[in-house]
């Protein structure tokens, strides 16, 4: 059933397939590379867009890090680029907030949601479950182009004279609802909302496709308990996305109504710009509930794919089965479920009923348990392994380190009594940059290094990969670890400058150090970018299965065409983690090897079911 609507290269299916074969080869260039329905091309489109967005998002963070690290510096040299946003050699405070907002939006949605999940869900789902393409190639293409459109709108908003949205990536009204409150809440916010609405459409199309494909198009023998953990992660991520993004959509829609059509969903009793507004009875807190109902699941939408990728890479390169496969699936499910009922831990001090605070503290701390299980399982997988440090493996280990360090501080923030002091300080910034930002980012890099040979048929240079890893890994800790200290000292986030306060007048040196480290980490990423683009064209030709991995994507030709396998789709006989199985002469047994071919390594219960 899996290939009935794809027709390509499936010589064993109906006889008229041959005609389609010809049609396919005659596809115009633009249908092959631009408006392509091939999941592999779409994945690369997401990846390249993600990389471009990451550069921009990173650059924005440097602008405001320069402001924080060197508050007295003369920034006139930025004037040729930033124009009116530099006045008398100083960054405009509203532009500072605009940069913070755009940085957050870009990183969370455009890089780590689209760039990470879009790339690897698209690339790996059909290849690893043994399908010729997504359930609907057309919707998949549409999903990318909606994302592209939303990118264009967001990008355009950066250049308008009133500036892009500036109220933080959480866009709390009334600040985001009232153009009188700040200039970014005018046209910039309209564009932000439009862009995000389109983004949500893209995300839903993508997620529905992932879910359908995984449920319906698995090859023979690929039961759910033989799915690689990558696929489990993408599957659950897509479900979380489908359930939570619509809520953000409705919040955005209500905000549009408040902004443009005079409704009062979020507005009440406001006096601004010398006049009392007529809005009454709305609730600003309602928006926060709606936002975080997406917002917290969103952090797992970003993180779970990275964890899935890591599971695969750690097992492959430890030459060991992932420890506790079932527990890994169980904890993904538990995290996914709990992620829907912890959102209000972002709202302990909004004035919501303190009893709710108690409930959410309790639920939030529960979610630490499945997270801890995952961390322990990674470590147990390394134990007594035979570890090969590919760059992908290094980045995966780095991810586990960040996941632990950042997850632990979550336990502090999840405690409402302690969060009173730490909320909206740099402690929170340190926490989520390590656990969400850096961990997911490392997952993305690990994925690129690992599947590059499958994407482009060539290898990336591993020594550049090593240098890239060590600089980035150490750099990330140097940048984000000290932010805990700054947060403990009470420094609020989203501050243009702290020098106006006696209490926040210290740490000038530390902030300078962070800024310098941030600049260096940013520059170090160009090692990767060089390696990436250079290797696409000039890298060494890869072997078919360079990492001696078990999963199905490595059974395809070096540069698989649309349809992935030239002949039949391989069948699957075993789980994906038969690494270093006792009794077998090699240290891996791919999923498509029947038990009948490995008589010496089979456990008693392992027999091929009747074909």
Site for Cu ion in 278-297 (CB under 5 A): 296
Using CB under 6 A, which of 130, 321, 410, 570 touches ligand HEM? 410
Residue 251 CB, shortest distance to other proteins, in Å, is 16
Q: Rounded distance, CA 266 to CA 372, Å? A: 38
Rounded Cα gap, residues 254 and 502, in angstroms: 41
CB 154 within 8 A of CB 191: yes
Stretch that binds ligand HEM, among 249-257, 280-288, 384-392, 414-422 (CB under 6 A): 414-422
When asked if residue 423 is in the footprint of Cu ion (CB under 5 A), the reply is no
Instruction: Please confirm whether the linkage preceding 174 is cis (ω < 30° from 0).
Output: yes
- Nearest-approach distance from CB 139 to other proteins, in angstroms: 37
Phi and psi dihedrals of 340, rounded to 5? -85, -10
Instruction: Name the residue nearer to other proteins (CB basis): 331 or 556.
Output: 331
* Residue 435 interacting with ligand HEM (CB under 6 A): yes
User: For residues 51 and 429, which CB has a smaller minimum distance to ligand HEM in the complex?
Assistant: 429
What is the CB-side half-sphere exposure of residue 24 using CA atoms within 13 A? 15
Q: Which is nearer to ligand HEM, 119 or 371 (CB)?
A: 371
- Per-residue x/- track, 291-330, Cu ion (CB under 5 A): -----x----------------------------------
8 vs 299 by CB, closer to Cu ion: 299
Q: Which of ligand HEM, other proteins, Cu ion, none binds 389 (CB below 5-8 Å, type-dependent)? A: other proteins
- Alpha-carbon distance 246 to 345, whole Å? 21
CB of 608 to other proteins, least distance (A): 20
Partner whose footprint covers residue 485, from Cu ion, ligand HEM, other proteins, none (CB < 5 to 8 Å by kind)? other proteins
Q: How far is the CB of 369 from ligand HEM (least distance, A)?
A: 9
Task: Give SS3 for 342.
Answer: coil
Per-residue DSSP letters for 160-189? Answer: STT-S--STTTT-TTTTT-TTT-GGGTHHH
Closest distance between other proteins and the C-beta of residue 345, in Å?
12
* Position 413 contacts ligand HEM (CB under 6 A): yes
Task: Please identify, using beta-carbon distances, which residue of 137 and 437 lies nearer to ligand HEM.
Answer: 437
- What is the nearest approach in angstroms of other proteins to the Cβ of residue 256? 18
Query: Whole-number minimum distance, CB 411 to ligand HEM, in Å?
Result: 5
567 binds, among Cu ion, other proteins, ligand HEM, none (CB under 5 to 8 A by kind): none
Q: Which C-beta is closer to Cu ion: that of 235 or that of 293?
A: 293
Residue 428 binding result from other proteins, ligand HEM, Cu ion, none, given CB thresholds of 5 to 8 Å by partner type: ligand HEM
Say if residues 35 and 555 touch (Cβ distance below 8 Å): no
Q: Which is nearer to ligand HEM, 319 or 494 (CB)?
A: 494
Q: Any residues with CB less than 8 A from the CB of 260 and at least 6 apart, and which?
A: none
Contacts 24+ apart (CB under 8 A), 327-331: 327/373, 327/377, 328/229, 328/232, 328/374, 328/377, 329/229, 329/232, 330/370, 330/373, 331/370, 331/371, 331/373, 331/374
Which tokens go with 332?
């993904």
Q: Is 433 in the site for Cu ion (CB under 5 A)?
A: no
The pair of three-digit structure tokens given for residue 286, joined into one six-digit string: 């309602």
SS3 state at 197: helix
**484 lines the binding site for Cu ion (CB under 5 A):** no
Q: Report residue 265 as tokens.
A: 């969903």
Picked from other proteins, Cu ion, ligand HEM, none, the partner binding residue 413 (CB below 5 to 8 A depending on kind) is ligand HEM
Alpha-helical (H) ranges within 319-386 are: 325-339, 354-382
Distance between CA atoms of residues 384 and 386, nearest Å: 7
Rounded CA gap, 87 and 266, in Å? 34
Report yes or no: 442 and 402 within 8 Å, Cβ to Cβ: yes
* Stretch 134-173 residues interacting with ligand HEM (CB under 6 A): 170
Q: Which of residues 244-283 bind ligand HEM (CB under 6 A)?
A: none
Q: Mark residues 359-388: x for contact with ligand HEM by CB under 6 A, - for none.
A: -----xx-xx--x-----------------
Nearest to 300 by CA among 349, 249, 251, 370: 370
Tell whether residue 423 is a contact of ligand HEM (CB under 6 A): yes
User: Which H or E run contains 62?
Assistant: helix 39-69
Decide: is 411 part of the binding site for ligand HEM (CB under 6 A): yes
We find the least distance from the C-beta atom of residue 342 to Cu ion, in angstroms, to be 6
Q: Residue 111 in 3-state DSSP?
A: helix
* Closest residue to ligand HEM in the complex (CB): 410
**346 sits near ligand HEM (criterion: CB under 6 A):** yes
Is the CB of 466 or the CB of 595 nearer to other proteins? 466
Cβ 109 to Cu ion shortest distance, Å: 16
Q: How far are the Cα atoms of 56, 79, 207 from residue 64, in angstroms, in the given order? A: 13, 15, 34
CA distance 99 to 250: 26
CB 484 to Cu ion: min, Å: 19
Q: State the Rg of the chain over Cα.
A: 25
Residue nearest to Cu ion (CB): 296
Interface residues with Cu ion (CB under 5 A) are 296
Interface residues with ligand HEM (CB under 6 A) are 170, 299, 303, 345-346, 364-365, 367-368, 371, 407, 410-411, 413-414, 419, 422-423, 428, 431-432, 435-436
């Amino acid at each position: 059933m899996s290939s009935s609507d794809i027709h390509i290269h499936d010589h064993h299916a109906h006889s008229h397939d041959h005609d389609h074969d010809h049609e396919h080869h005659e596809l115009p260039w633009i249908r092959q590379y631009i408006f392509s329905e091939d999941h592999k091309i779409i994945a690369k489109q997401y990846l390249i867009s993600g990389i471009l967005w990451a550069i921009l998002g990173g650059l924005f963070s440097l602008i405001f890090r320069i402001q924080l690290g060197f508050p007295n510096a003369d920034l006139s040299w930025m004037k040729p680029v930033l124009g009116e946003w530099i006045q008398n050699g100083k960054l405009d405070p509203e532009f500072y907030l605009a940069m913070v907002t755009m940085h957050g939006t870009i990183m969370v949605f455009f890089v780590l949601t689209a760039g990470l999940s879009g790339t690897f869900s698209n690339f790996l789902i059909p290849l690893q479950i043994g399908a010729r393409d997504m359930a609907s190639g057309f919707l998949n293409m549409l999903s990318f182009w909606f994302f592209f459109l939303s990118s264009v709108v967001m990008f355009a908003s950066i250049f308008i004279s009133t500036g892009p949205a500036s109220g933080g990536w959480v866009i709390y009204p009334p600040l985001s609802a009232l153009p009188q409150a700040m200039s970014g809440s005018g046209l910039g916010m309209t564009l932000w909302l439009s862009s995000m609405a389109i983004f949500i459409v893209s995300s839903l199309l993508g997620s529905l496709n992932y879910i359908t494909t995984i449920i319906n198009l698995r090859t023979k023998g690929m039961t759910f308990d033989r799915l690689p953990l990558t696929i489990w992660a993408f599957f659950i991520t897509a479900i979380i996305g489908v359930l939570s993004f619509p809520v953000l959509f409705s919040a955005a829609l209500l905000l549009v109504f408040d902004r443009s059509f005079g409704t009062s969903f979020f507005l009440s009793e406001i006096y601004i710009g010398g006049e009392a507004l007529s809005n009454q009875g709305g609730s600003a807190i309602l928006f926060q509930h709606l936002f975080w109902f997406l917002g917290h699941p969103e952090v797992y939408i970003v993180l779970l794919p990275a964890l899935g990728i890591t599971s695969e890479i750690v097992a492959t390169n430890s030459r060991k089965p992932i420890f506790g496969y079932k527990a890994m699936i169980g904890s993904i499910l538990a995290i996914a479920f709990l992620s829907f009922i912890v959102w209000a831990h972002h709202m302990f001090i909004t004035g919501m009923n303190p009893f709710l605070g108690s409930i959410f503290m309790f639920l939030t701390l529960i979610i630490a348990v499945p997270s801890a299980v995952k961390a322990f399982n990674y470590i147990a997988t390394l134990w007594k392994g035979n570890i090969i440090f590919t760059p992908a493996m290094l980045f995966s280990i780095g991810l586990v380190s960040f996941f632990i360090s950042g997850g632990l501080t979550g336990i502090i923030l999840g405690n409402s009594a302690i969060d009173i002091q730490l909320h909206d300080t740099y402690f929170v910034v340190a926490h989520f940059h390590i656990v969400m930002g850096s961990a997911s980012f490392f997952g993305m890099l690990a994925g690129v290094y690992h599947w590059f040979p499958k994407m482009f048929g060539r290898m990336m240079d591993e020594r550049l990969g090593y240098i890239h890893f060590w600089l980035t890994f150490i750099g990330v800790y140097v940048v984000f670890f000290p932010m805990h200290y700054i947060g403990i000292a009470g420094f609020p986030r989203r501050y243009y400058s702290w020098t106006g306060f006696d209490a926040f007048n210290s740490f000038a040196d530390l902030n300078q150090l962070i800024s310098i480290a941030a600049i260096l980490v940013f520059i170090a990423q160009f090692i990767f970018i060089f390696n990436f683009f250079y290797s696409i064209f000039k890298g060494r030709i890869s072997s078919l299965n360079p990492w001696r991995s078990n999963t199905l994507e490595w059974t395809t030709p070096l540069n698989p065409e649309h349809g992935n396998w030239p002949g039949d789709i391989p069948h699957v006989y075993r789980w994906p983690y038969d690494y270093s199985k006792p009794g077998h002469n090699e240290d891996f047994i791919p999923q498509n090897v029947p038990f009948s071919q490995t008589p010496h390594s089979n456990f008693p219960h392992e027999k091929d079911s009747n074909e």
